[in-house]
Chain A
Amino acid sequence: MSGLAPSSTFFTEPPHWQWLIIFYFFIGGLAGGTYVLAALIDFFGRTIDRPLARLGYYVAFPATVVSGLLLIVDLTRPLRFWHMLLESNTWQPMLKTYSPMSVGSWALLLFGAVTLVSFLAALGDAGRLRWRWLARLRPPTIAGGLVAVVGAALGFFIASYTGVLLAVTNRPIWSDTTVLGLNFLLSSASTSAALLVLLAWFRWRVTFGIHALERFDAWVLVVELLALIALVVSLGEVARVWLGAWGALLLVGVVILGIVLPLVLLWRTLRFTRAGVATAVASVLVLVGGFIFRIVVVLSSEQATRGMGA
């Protein structure tokens, strides 16, 4: 037990956040990211892009519901999930602004409400519901604009707070850096754009706003790569934990398959303009890479023990 651990974080115990949480980080990121993109398209896209934004709203709400369910099932006392929101003894609201999980619980609840409104508005807009007035809850109306602004702000929060939550512990890797929230946010943005491109490609096979989404995705992937480098640098000595299988997975699964290869494919499609199979492949790779990133971040810390890095 000679302890020359690179950080005091190696003296802690893992919380056993595993696959349910990995899926939440991924799906929650998609919920936040697709909503933000849908709102951006509604505000800054063209009328022709509105169906694309609708796709975003269609994804965001179910993904938020699934996120909540994953989190509840992961509790060791699931029926007490509401203790995050109300003090169980006093029925007063339970909120700690300095606890990311506490703020996150409220954010997820509110985001669920907003994504539901936008989900219904999108259905109304598409003529799939009898109540056409629902479409007024979507930009460009003032009410719709308000909903989208609040939703996009919450979406950004949902996409990034999970990384901050991990940092606000004392576990190896997670709390040895402060950029995980940024990493998660960027990964949520790229995977969400990829998912929308993929869905749009399946649905219409034509470019419309897909081209703008792909260009956005390419930019985000470049920033994501830089942020990943920043993550490793900020970990310093602790990054030694990744010298091995986790590092290999990070390099191959996240960097090469999830960032570099899609960038090459996107560069081609962006030059040759037509959304083709390469578009779909790039999107799938970005999604896979984003998922693997969360696996590496969560499980490599979960498995870090007192002996490691020593």
Chain B
Amino acid sequence: MAEPMGFFTDTTVCIGCKACEVACKEWNQLPASNGGRNTLSGDSYDNTRTLDGIHWRHVQFIEQFDETRQNGRWLLMSDVCKHCVQAGCMEVCPTGAIIRTEFDTVVIQSDVCNGCRDCIGACPFGVIGINPASNTAQKCTLCYDRLKAGLEPACSKACPTDSIVFGTIADLKKLAAARVDQLHGQGETRAYLYGADDTMLGGLNSFFLLLDRPEVYRLPPDPKMPSRNLAPGSIWSALGALLVGLMGVVSFRMRGGREAEIAERERREEAA
């Protein structure tokens, strides 16, 4: 197995050019929204709006202005599949379409997926969607095909500010830690890493440097695995089955005198 690979996305240097989105769309031949007749969101420069089956990179424009609009900032962040070490999508996939590659990335095999959409609801980050071109669930593959050929993913290749850095997880972690130290040293003490250590879903193979709470970037503060509910949910169901079975047995065994009477009377009426 090759070394685990991933992305480090440093949101402090993102300029919102969307070169990553375009490079991703071009390389992966993703169709345009609504047959090319996309609408504008009307409330920011973010007309992509969300990650889905045909948007595998999404540059978020988060506008933080006070009432007077004297003070404010834009937070820009190129969002992408997190390639979780413990991947919720892969866990629930009933066809085995979602696999972990030799690069420790998570890839949906489009020729296997049958579009049950369980992974869409299971992804803690809302990354996956149906691609209308294939009618299967799709998301970032971390350019598996390019990695196989020794190339870096299209988005990081195109990123003009190195907001998106591709590399081995070990290298990226070192780079990210140094960058946080640098920012803290410069007085930007809000900088922190999201998903870099293994406490979040075993580690996110694409992790982020953020300047505000995760929720502000539409990231879950506490993402979890779907299977957390499997054992308790099954136990409750089994107890319910036991109770229902018991009630059924008792009800069909509990035939009082009156019931026997009615049955007898009805039998007589039937016969008559």
Contacts and interface: CB of A to CB of B under 8 A. Distances in A.
B244 A36 contact: yes
A51 to B, nearest CB: 12
B62 A1 contact: yes
A4 B215 contact: yes
B95 A13 contact: no
Interface of A: 1-5, 8-17, 36-37, 40-41, 43-46, 48-49, 74-78, 80-81, 83-84, 87-89, 94, 96, 98-102, 105, 152, 156, 160-161, 163-165, 167-171, 174-175, 177-182, 185-186, 189, 206-209, 211-213, 215-216, 219-220, 223, 227, 273-274, 306
Contacts of B130: 16, 76
B220 A185 contact: no
Contacts of A170: 88, 121-124, 223-224, 226
Contacts of B70: none
B240 A99 contact: no
10 contacts: A12-B220, A13-B52, A98-B91, A98-B227, A168-B233, A170-B124, A178-B232, A212-B255, A212-B259, A227-B240
A95 B91 CA distance: 12
B233 A83 contact: no
B112 interface: yes
Nearest to A193: B248
Residue picked from A4, A15, A37, A87, most chain B C-beta under 10 Å: A15
B254 interface: yes
B49 to A, nearest CB: 11
A76 B262 CA distance: 54
Contacts of A174: 121
A247 to B, nearest CB: 22
B120 A14 contact: yes
A1 B124 contact: no
Contact of B112 (A36, A83, A160, A178): A83
Interface of B: 50, 52, 62, 88, 91-97, 111-118, 120-130, 135-136, 213-216, 218-224, 226-227, 229-230, 232-234, 236-237, 239-241, 243-245, 247-249, 251-255, 258-259, 262-263, 266-267, 269-270
B266 A84 contact: no
B255 A169 contact: no
B112 A84 contact: no
A219 B250 CA distance: 11
Contacts of B123: 12-13, 170
Contact of B91 (A81, A99, A216): A99
B29 to A, nearest CB: 19
B129 A94 contact: no
Residue picked from B50, B220, B253, most chain A C-beta under 10 Å: B220
Contacts of A209: 252
B240 A181 contact: yes
Contacts of A273: 258-259, 262
A44 B92 contact: no
A79 B227 CA distance: 28
A46 B190 CA distance: 74
Contacts of A215: 251, 254
A280 B88 CA distance: 45
Nearest to A40: B248
Contacts of A207: 259, 262-263, 266
A88 to B, nearest CB: 5
A89 B224 CA distance: 31
B117 A168 contact: no
A46 to B, nearest CB: 8
A9 B226 CA distance: 10
A37 B52 contact: no
Contacts of B227: 98, 168
Contacts of B213: 3
Contacts of B124: 8, 11-12, 170
B117 A76 contact: yes
Contact of B233 (A9, A75, A178, A274): A178
Contacts of A14: 120-121
B122 A168 contact: yes
A164 B237 contact: yes
A302 to B, nearest CB: 9
Given A3-B213, A13-B123, A83-B114, A167 B252 contact: no
A100 B254 CA distance: 36
A213 B96 contact: no
B229 A40 contact: no
Nearest to B135: A76
A81 B114 contact: yes
Contacts of A152: 245
Nearest to A72: B114
Given A185-B244, A186-B240, A163 B258 contact: no
A161 B237 contact: yes
